[in-house]
Structure 1
Amino acid sequence: MRHLWLLALIAFGSSLFSGVLTLPEAHPGKPSVATTPAVGGNGGGTGGGVGGGETSTDYSEYDEEEPQRAPGNLAKSTAGPKLPLPYFDQPKVDMYVGDNGSSVKVDCPVKNYNAQHHAILWYKDNSAISNGNTLFSSVYGLDTNFTLTVPVAANATDGQKYSCHVMPPDVRREVTIHLGPEPSTPAPATTRPTPAAGSAPTGQDCGLWLVLFLAALQLAVRF
């Protein structure tokens, strides 16, 4: 009977003071608190009080990953200065070799040449004979200014073509070698001008007038 009275008293107290035996609801936006009940000693049972346990706070919902940003020195690319384009004043040149000439020097006078960004190649017709300071044939010569020495053999043909290429952007200077002396330019023909009507008398007319004057003077002296 004693146990029945205790159960009835507990049921009556829970219905009358319902807020005492219920836990408060968790508010939104606040971290949830997990409680771990404390374990009693050897002589007692399990403790049910909240104050005697350990509390742990979960902040996982507040841990947001920040977006990764690229460093400032890698985000922007800087372009280097623009180089002027190489060019030739005379893209096509004719050279003449005399009968006694054994070789001829062909230069490559390129403008705006930069050794760090450009390379010079020599070609005979469509065959490469040099790349920079490297020659592919020992019959030719090449100096530090990329001047090519071309041998002139006895059986050489007239009109040999050599070209100097500047890479990039493949600017060319074509040189045509002719055998024999350079042809001289003929002088323009001179024509004697015809005197216009009413112009001053020429030397022939002056002589005629002089003869007439002497004849008149001789007749005056005689008479």
Structure 2
Amino acid sequence: MRHLWLLLLIACGSVQLPGVLTYPEALPAKSSSAAGGGDGGGAGGGVTPTETSKDYDYEDESQQAAANLAKSTESPKIPDPYFEQTDVDIYVPINTTSVKLDCPVRNYNAQHHVLLWYKGKTPVSNGDNIFDKIYSMDKKFSLTVPLASNATEERYVCEVPNKARRQVTIRFGPEPSTTVPSAAGGSAVTSAPAKDSAPHGRDISLWLIGLLLAPLQLAVSFRF
């Protein structure tokens, strides 16, 4: 009987005895606003549901990034080298033993171009490297070349491959003078110097002035 009574008390939940296991009462479910402590005033305020973000166009962003990368990596255009004179004749005395040949190339960039010297078709230099010690070259690529005593003409070429080329022809002897073309009919026209004609014109002017003043002098003399 006593065991039955204890079981009834436990089932009803009116008495809790030491050493006897009792089940906790089921608590009523709380709303989300109550669990969050009202308007966010309690600890760990209410959680507001986040809105779904709009779709982002990753393709446009990747295209823009690729365009910016292409602009940043695009190398500046290097101007082409050139010569103002591509064919030059140099006249030297017959017994000259050496001569200095200039190579005035424009827009030359040592990082992108190379300059070559040739004697005829034989390479003489490549950049700063000279293939034969009989030649010498300065920092401006001017080449000093030896001349043979019996030579009558020598040709050298200063070149930036596939860009610019200058040929220098060395000729021995005096430079030919420029001739003035004669007048029509083949005869040369000669004229007297200006300093010779000036005195004659001055004499004629004085004679005319004297001729005009003579009647005036006669009239004055007869009057008085």
With the length of structure 1 as denominator, give the TM-score of the two structures: 0.50
More helix by share: 2
Which one has a larger percent strand, Structure 1 or Structure 2?
1
